[in-house]
Amino acid sequence: MCRWLAYTGSPVLIEEVLYKPEHSLIDQSLHSRLGAETTNGDGFGLGWYDPDAKTPAVFHSIEPAWNDRNLREVASHVESPLFLAHIRASSGTAVQQTNCHPFRYGKWLWVHNGLVRDFHLVKRDLALAVDESLYPYIEGSADSETLFYLALTFGLEDDPPAAVERMVGFVEEVGRRHGIEHPIQMTIGTTNGKTLWAFRYSSERDSRTLFYSTDMRTVREMYSDRPRLQEVSDETRIIVSEPLVDLPGAWNEVPESSYGVVQEGEDELHEFRPVYSRNGS
Amino acid sequence: MCRWLAYTGSPVLIEEVLYKPEHSLIDQSLHSRLGAETTNGDGFGLGWYDPDAKTPAVFHSIEPAWNDRNLREVASHVESPLFLAHIRASSGTAVQQTNCHPFRYGKWLWVHNGLVRDFHLVKRDLALAVDESLYPYIEGSADSETLFYLALTFGLEDDPPAAVERMVGFVEEVGRRHGIEHPIQMTIGTTNGKTLWAFRYSSERDSRTLFYSTDMRTVREMYSDRPRLQEVSDETRIIVSEPLVDLPGAWNEVPESSYGVVQEGEDELHEFRPVYSRNGS
Amino acid sequence: MCRWLAYTGSPVLIEEVLYKPEHSLIDQSLHSRLGAETTNGDGFGLGWYDPDAKTPAVFHSIEPAWNDRNLREVASHVESPLFLAHIRASSGTAVQQTNCHPFRYGKWLWVHNGLVRDFHLVKRDLALAVDESLYPYIEGSADSETLFYLALTFGLEDDPPAAVERMVGFVEEVGRRHGIEHPIQMTIGTTNGKTLWAFRYSSERDSRTLFYSTDMRTVREMYSDRPRLQEVSDETRIIVSEPLVDLPGAWNEVPESSYGVVQEGEDELHEFRPVYSRNGS
Amino acid sequence: MCRWLAYTGSPVLIEEVLYKPEHSLIDQSLHSRLGAETTNGDGFGLGWYDPDAKTPAVFHSIEPAWNDRNLREVASHVESPLFLAHIRASSGTAVQQTNCHPFRYGKWLWVHNGLVRDFHLVKRDLALAVDESLYPYIEGSADSETLFYLALTFGLEDDPPAAVERMVGFVEEVGRRHGIEHPIQMTIGTTNGKTLWAFRYSSERDSRTLFYSTDMRTVREMYSDRPRLQEVSDETRIIVSEPLVDLPGAWNEVPESSYGVVQEGEDELHEFRPVYSRNGS
């Protein structure tokens, strides 16, 4: 229902990645090809890190991304080595800044594409499971934000894959208790400003698409007309809901039910297995 | 922290009450005299009833009321026998439409001036006490909305004064359990489209101001230059956070710790006494 | 680049026409079929007449129509015998309320689909031709608003078809002086609250689509599941950029280079011929 | 009717100047002391320069500055050696992003506090005097933007003081031709990214206030609790509509009918004399 993008690597002007590619995220806000919805006009968000600040900056807007002038200004004047952008197609909850991704807690950012099915049925049970100390930080009404605070409750800051696996297991248990066949559908991107984790999973094992750039030689080719991108390091990576350009070999699909870790040193790709409570389903 | 107005009686063009008086609610949005804040620019709302519709209409905006053109258009073209308007000065929660008053549930509307002190400390306990069937209808993050759903949980639709007294008792009990000396400060207006209830109370017994128009002879004098208002019935009443015009004898203050009922037949004024649970404070 | 709708006839709740049909204008804001753009998410507007007010009401918003809650509230609580609605896909000018249609002057409303080509080249010449007394009323930057004030300058209030034919002739003359091959593309709806005029024309004689409902028997069939619409008079008409429902025989296309007049008594359909100045092209 | 601030000197995090002082510009948006209006809630803008970009960035919003979260995010993550900020109290024209200051043309920024009196009477004459090549860049409806384009027409890019003196002379001539006694009231800040000019003038010689920081030793004292500001260079200057802190000796008033130049090397202060056309008043 949404589209997102994560960039990590050599610092670049955000617009180089967000606006310049042929089928950029901004273009996808009007004309998504692979999404459940073709239009993603229910607000957007951008979160970026810079070396000095303790917490990332977030910029949220309820205007469609394609005509937001402030986004264009920020993107064309801010350089960053790590940023997440998200365009929203609401699955029902209000269009307001507090429902825009990325969600932020301390130095963490979180974006989500997908939905918690029949969220109104399970919202209360999920909210009650959020740690008491975290509960007051929930500002909006989006399912995606509740997933973030559940993951934080389950230890996101210590072991992200384990926390997300427990979070998903919990959501599935609660959903099934309410008679929901396929409780969750998701791709998720999250980062602490150093490492980036990207998850692809759905209860029905038919998850929203997710791609990662193969390696930077390919990215350099993709942007052959952008001199500044020719200088980015080999470790630079882009993860996207759908490819930014049509270029054979440039993108790998994140496999069904798996997650990737983009970090200093070797990147990793693992199977994703929801963890259920002992007395769970 | 806010200002509100309720009108009930003969149908009038909303702007006659909302814009035309010398110290109208719109003027109060820029220059409140009696409020805790002089500027009430963090959004506004209008809710109105018409004879045909099953539920009242609500119009919410995050723009300051004083420069919202759509509000002016609606107010100058819609006639109503019963409406509530509210201008907001946020006590910290986000400025978004879902935090704008009046809140609506079925045929009920609800406006609140004041706050739940240290709301972040008690928010979770209060939210958990909301009936499971009502919980998913909470859309925003404002303390005022939580109070509304608590009142609904405690029977607002059956016996509004009793429900609000139980709600306030509960909020005070929860607050004191968290070490908060004066948990609640409030004036509240609520209506089912026929009867209007107005409450004034605070834990410290030093509540925000609230006034009601004495009788319609006075209101007619107040608006002597408005021919359409000369025809309103004797039962017409206006309730406001602060007077709309300076006119000796036009306004009575709702006494500390009391509530009024504006209805067909005789209006009523009663003492307001929070109700505590048996094992409460 | 936009879509619009005009309704005139028996008073109806606006939502019956605006939201309820299968391929309603609100649906077209997300999924236009016949438009130059599939998404019309750059703001919208609604203008309506009621018996009492001297001037029509207008409601403008820069949010996409499909998720604007206030529009839904107004449309589901206001009845009107004559209203115009418009959804915008900007052809470059800013997304702001003052660029939203319908534009209003006194009791007149004006909606436009199409564009003045290379508007930046001719904007000054067109603005200078606006009558001095009207010039200060131009609030936005849209080509459509300038067309409206030119038509007013050329006598819209006295003889709308003649004024629009002179306006178009003038725009074509100015455009061609600047080397623009096809200066104008348009469908236009305008009304004084009693009569409704609908124009379809383009310099290249390949104009944006425009349709009118044949007669009310058909409309009643179209909305067979809407009891309130079964009672509308035979003179009720709907004019739209693209059909609201797929129903054989329900819609007639306004022919290329022509205009219609919907009025008490017999409706009319005429050829549209731009009028050029004596020393013009 | 507005308040503005200009900073030039050592690069600082924008929030240090915009939010942190006791009576910051953000505080002035709610509680101006010296302005014609106490509330400046009709939008705001921020324009900043960075070493790499060819043109400055601008961020405009129609929300009140005091509750705009995006402004807070940008200000707390962007460092700049030169920026202008403006909070608006509309003198009648629409609240929309295209009416927000700073206005930008190429590498130039422009902020204005004050008004063109009876602007609706003179708007057309002023607009017609704007150079044909510049006219299409006018996007909004504010008098301040027209003043900017007139100044550009009169040579702002070559000799700013001379251009502003001619602009003011022209506005006064046009105004007096329309019977307006005191056509213009202004403080203006403008910059090309290197030098900053600040003007104070009004036809009635009773101009809105304008102050500049004396020297950086004083500024360092003002912000003694802000370590990062202790390191700014001696050439750093702040110019403001009203002082940011109460500190004896920290601020000098720009004298009536004068302008200052903040530049590398010695700053300058000169008399401001409108220049009239030969056949002018």
What's the rounded mean pLDDT across residues A231-245? 84
Whether B57 has its CB under 8 Å from any CB of chain C: the answer is: yes
What pLDDT, on a 0 to 100 scale, did the predictor assign at position A187? 97
What mean pLDDT, rounded, does chain C reach? 89
Residues facing residue C47 across a β-bridge: C58, C84
How would you classify the pairing of strands B3-13 and D184-191?
unpaired
pLDDT at position C49 over 60: yes
- Contact of A183 with A169, CB cutoff 8 Å: no
* Residue, of C146 and C245, whose pLDDT is higher: C146
- Contact of B233 with B216, CB cutoff 8 Å: yes
What pLDDT, on a 0 to 100 scale, did the predictor assign at position A219? 65
- Which chain D residue has its CA at the smallest distance from A48's CA? D77
pLDDT at position A119 over 80: yes
DSSP B109: E
Q: Which positions ≥6 away from D278 have C-beta within 8 Å?
A: none
pLDDT at position A38 over 80: no
Show which of residues 119-158 on chain D sit within 8 Å of chain C, judged by CB atoms. Answer: 120-121, 123-124, 127-128, 132, 135-136, 138-141
pLDDT at position B128 over 60: yes
CA distances from A104 to A60, A146, A190, A193, A203 (A): 11, 12, 10, 11, 26
For every residue of A167-183, DSSP letters joined together read HHHHHHHHHHHTT-SS-
pLDDT at position A280 over 60: no
Distance CA(C234)–CA(A89), nearest Å, equals: 41
- Contact of D42 with D68, CB cutoff 8 Å: no
Distance CA(D100)–CA(D71), nearest Å, equals: 14
Cut 0.80: pTM above it? yes
Interface test with D, best of B32, B63, B73 (most D CBs within 10 A): B63
CA distances from D170 to B60, D107, D121, D211 (A): 44, 25, 15, 26
pLDDT in tens, C219-236: 677 677 767 667 778 788
Token look-up 């915009």 returns D18
Contacts of C53 in chain B (CB under 8 A): 76-77
Neighbours, chain A (3 or more CB pairs < 8 A): B, C, D
Phi, psi angle pair for B87, to nearest 5°: -120, 140
- Which chain B residue has its CA at the smallest distance from D37's CA? B30
What pLDDT, on a 0 to 100 scale, did the predictor assign at position B280? 46
What mean pLDDT, rounded, does chain B reach? 89
Closest by Cα among B133, B64, B111, B119 to B91:
B119
Question: Closest approach of chain A CAs to the CA of C21, in angstroms?
Answer: 21
What pLDDT, on a 0 to 100 scale, did the predictor assign at position B279? 53
What mean pLDDT, rounded, does chain A reach? 89
- C-alpha triplet C258, C260, C265: angle, nearest 5°: 150
pLDDT in tens, D171-195: 999 999 999 999 999 999 999 999 9
Distance CA(B56)–CA(B107), nearest Å, equals: 6
What pLDDT, on a 0 to 100 scale, did the predictor assign at position C217? 73
Show which of residues 18-37 on chain B sit within 8 Å of chain D, judged by CB atoms. Answer: 30-31
What's the rounded mean pLDDT across residues D55-70? 91
pLDDT at position D235 over 90: no
Whether B53 has its CB under 8 Å from any CB of chain C: the answer is: yes
Say yes or no for a CB contact (<8 Å) between B58 and C73.
Answer: yes
Distance CA(D197)–CA(D151), nearest Å, equals: 13
* Residue, of B148 and A281, whose pLDDT is higher: B148
pLDDT at position D280 over 60: no
Q: Which positions ≥6 away from A208 have C-beta within 8 Å?
A: A35, A36, A113, A114, A185, A186, A187, A200, A202, A241
The dihedral built from the CA positions of residue D207, C140, B16 and B39, taken in this order, carries a sign that is negative
ipTM: 0.90
Contacts of C100 in chain A (CB under 8 A): none
What is the percent of chain C where pLDDT is above 70?
93
Contacts of C64 in chain A (CB under 8 A): 41-42, 64
Interface test with B, best of C77, C100, C107, C228 (most B CBs within 10 A): C77
Contacts of A30 in chain C (CB under 8 A): 39
What's the rounded mean pLDDT across residues A43-67? 89
Neighbours, chain C (3 or more CB pairs < 8 A): A, B, D
Closest by Cα among A51, A46, A47 to A11:
A51
What pLDDT, on a 0 to 100 scale, did the predictor assign at position D279? 54
Whether B96 has its CB under 8 Å from any CB of chain A: the answer is: yes
Whether A62 has its CB under 8 Å from any CB of chain D: the answer is: no
Distance CA(D198)–CA(D112), nearest Å, equals: 10
- Contact of A191 with A151, CB cutoff 8 Å: no
Distance CA(B112)–CA(C60), nearest Å, equals: 28
pLDDT at position A215 over 50: yes
Single-letter residue type at D249: G
